[in-house]
């Protein structure tokens, strides 16, 4: 993995509403043997593949055109590579969660109802993961068109400099399709959870669920809402994506990252580390954390205000 040039990737924040449980997000747990984010609960996603930038794949998609994709993102990439983030999201969501955003020849959304259909699409999922099939081949075989406009851009995160594994990730919000079931793949991920954002944050605070900094910040944003419609409305007036790149501070006893909204962010970005560090106070699920401390294998969120 190239630590100098972050790998382009996409992550999908899959949402659903429950009558009595409110807004839920879908998280998968990465297997313990992985070298990056092992054992953490994350949103489904992964690295952009060559097929995601293939024009043959583009013509089997609808809902977002390349020019619009570039407009929505930061504008520094080509139209084609901008659109590829949406396609990466479609592919990775299917590979990691078994959820496919597509319609058939009749214009009907894909459903996994029936044992034979589930088995057939589970086989496609496995072939895609192993590189034995592409999205183009799947579309041809099943007469599918991938629908991209169900993915609403949410955030753009860049891994801090100095980390051995770095990503350039666009996060998208997507409502869970009806008549499909989300599940971990049993290979890269071993468990799945539909969970309220606040509950996930509380489990992270208790140490029963490991969350990474971008996941914590995202869940804190989502914890303000009760319905998917409210989340989407909050994003409606966003014109472009401003990247979020935390600063990693490699303290021997307790490393941490600061987010751009932390009052000390610019100081740490310059490499100016004070002898005595004031982290503020431990966060609660109602906070907007400004930094994350890494303590005994846990991600511990803190909030520091400008008057701390």
Domains in the chain, CATH or no CATH each: 7-235 (3.90.79.10), 247-303 (no CATH)
- The number of beta carbons lying within 10 Å of the beta carbon of residue 128 is 20
- pLDDT confidence of 32, banded at 50, 70, 90? low
What is the C-alpha to C-alpha distance for residues 176 and 174, in angstroms, rounded to an integer? 6
Beta partners for residue 145, in sequence order: 103
pTM of the model: 0.94
For 80, list phi and psi in degrees, rounded to 5: -65, -45
Query: Could you read off the pLDDT of 88-119 as tens digits, one per residue?
Result: 999 999 999 999 999 998 888 988 778 888 89
Instruction: Give the whole-number percent of the chain exceeding pLDDT 90.
Output: 76
Tokens of 81: 């590579």
- Check: CB of residue 94 under 8 Å from CB of residue 100: yes
* 63 pLDDT more than 50: yes
> What separation in angstroms does the CA of 288 have from each of 14, 27, 81, 224, 292?
21, 20, 32, 10, 11
Name the residue among 142, 143, 145, 154 with its Cα closest to residue 117. Answer: 142
Q: Which residue has the higher pLDDT, 32 or 243?
A: 243
For residues 35-64, b (16+ Cβ closer than 10 Å) or e, as one string?
Answer: eebeebbbbbbbebbebbbbeebbebbeeb
């Amino acid at each position: 993995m190239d630590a100098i040039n972050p790998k382009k990737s996409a992550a999908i924040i899959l949402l659903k509403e429950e009558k009595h449980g409110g807004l839920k997000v879908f998280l998968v747990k990465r297997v313990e043997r992985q070298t990056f984010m092992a054992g953490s609960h994350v949103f489904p996603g992964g690295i952009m593949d060559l097929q995601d930038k293939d024009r043959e794949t583009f013509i089997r998609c609808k809902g977002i055109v390349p020019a619009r994709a570039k407009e929505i993102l930061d504008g520094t990439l080509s139209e084609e590579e901008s659109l590829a983030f949406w396609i990466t999201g479609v592919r990775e969501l299917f590979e990691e969660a078994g959820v496919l955003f597509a319609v058939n020849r009749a214009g009907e959304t894909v459903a996994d109802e029936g044992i034979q259909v589930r088995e057939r699409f589970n086989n496609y999922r496995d072939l895609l993961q192993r590189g034995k099939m592409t999205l183009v081949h799947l579309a041809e075989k099943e007469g599918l068109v991938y629908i991209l406009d169900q993915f609403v851009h949410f955030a753009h995160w860049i891994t801090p400099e100095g980390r051995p594994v770095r990503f350039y990730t666009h996060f998208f919000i997507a409502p869970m399709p009806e008549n499909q079931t989300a599940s971990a793949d049993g290979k890269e991920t071993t468990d799945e959870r539909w969970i309220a954002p606040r509950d996930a944050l509380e489990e992270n605070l208790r140490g029963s669920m490991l969350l990474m900094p971008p996941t914590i910040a995202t869940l804190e944003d989502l914890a303000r809402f009760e319905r998917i419609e409210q989340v989407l409305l909050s994003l409606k007036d966003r014109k472009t994506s401003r990247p979020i790149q935390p600063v990693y501070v490699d303290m021997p006893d307790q490393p941490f990252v600061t987010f751009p909204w932390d009052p000390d962010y610019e100081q740490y970005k310059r490499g100016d580390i004070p002898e005595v560090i004031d982290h503020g106070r431990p966060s609660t699920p109602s906070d907007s954390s400004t930094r994350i401390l890494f303590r005994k294998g846990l991600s511990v969120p803190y909030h520091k205000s400008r008057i701390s």
